[in-house]
Amino acid sequence: MLEAKNILKTFHSEGVVTHALTGVDLTVNPGEFVSIVGRSGSGKTTFLNVLSTLLAPDSGEILYGGEDVTSFSAARLNQLRQKDFSVVFQFHYLLPYLSARENVLLPYMRGLAPVSKDAKLRADACLERVGLAGKGSKIPGHLSGGEQQRVAIARALVKESTVLFADEPTGNLDRETGESVMELLADLKNDGLSIVMVTHDDEYAARADRVIRMADGAVV
């Protein structure tokens, strides 16, 4: 359902050439939880960013629903990012001056116009789903790290995404808080969401259906 074929990506920066991805293939089946592990610099984040369409590869195909998204127009890419694909980063990137509820609704907000009552109810249902019932009006600075990460995941739920891409979602959290985020991911997988997670943690990685190991820009 999501398939990467022979992905190449080279960075040129200040005279340094880095072959970050040297021909990576991956298939993610519907509802599958795949984790990606590997040493620092092996290309994990670059690959996740290419898969989630945040970064264009130099060559190769990313097939989603049978179509190559690398050839999508900007408008179609936006559609894909606003609906089907959701991304959670190591640092959650919530907007600090918006409430948890507004952060969840960010994909739907047009400027800072007030959101509809219906949208608010949907956001609150998603916050409840990630264990944050009653915390919708708090700003991120008044939530713990794990709670902030769960707000970022709730954003994927409100969009009813089909694939969640997570780059070290527990990287910044203590063991207990990381555990709560991992349990949430497992629940969402059981509900049918496909998940691609990059992690340094072998124990967390092993909870996925499949572990992909990367080294020097390739799957090994």
Ligand X SMILES: Nc1ncnc2c1ncn2[C@@H]1O[C@H](COP(=O)(O)OP(=O)(O)OP(=O)(O)O)[C@@H](O)[C@H]1O
Binding site for ligand X (CB under 6 A): 11, 13, 18, 20, 38, 40-46
Q: In the numeric block, which tokens belong to residue 190?
A: 């059981």
Please state, in angstroms and rounded to a whole number, the distance separating the CA atoms of residues 151 and 170.
14
Return the SS3 of 106.
helix
Asked if 99 is part of the footprint of Mg ion (rule: CB under 5 A), the reply reads no
Asked if 170 is part of the footprint of Mg ion (rule: CB under 5 A), the reply reads no
Could you give phi then psi for residue 156, rounded to 5 degrees?
A: -65, -35
Asked if 53 is part of the footprint of Mg ion (rule: CB under 5 A), the reply reads no
Give min distance, CB of 150 to ligand X, in A.
22
Give min distance, CB of 190 to Mg ion, in A.
27
Give min distance, CB of 42 to ligand X, in A.
4
Q: Is the CB of 36 or the CB of 100 nearer to ligand X?
A: 36
Asked if 45 is part of the footprint of Mg ion (rule: CB under 5 A), the reply reads yes
Q: Is the CB of 40 or the CB of 71 nearer to ligand X?
A: 40
Asked if 35 is part of the footprint of Mg ion (rule: CB under 5 A), the reply reads no
CB contact at 8 A, 196 and 163: yes
Q: Which does 163 bind (CB under 5 to 8 A by kind): ligand X, Mg ion, none?
A: none
Q: Is the CB of 18 or the CB of 131 nearer to ligand X?
A: 18
Q: Show Cβ contacts of residue 80 under 8 Å, excluding neighbours closer than 6 positions.
A: 53, 64, 69, 72
Q: Show Cβ contacts of residue 191 under 8 Å, excluding neighbours closer than 6 positions.
A: none
The span from the first CA to the last CA of the chain, in angstroms, equals 22
Binding site for Mg ion (CB under 5 A): 45
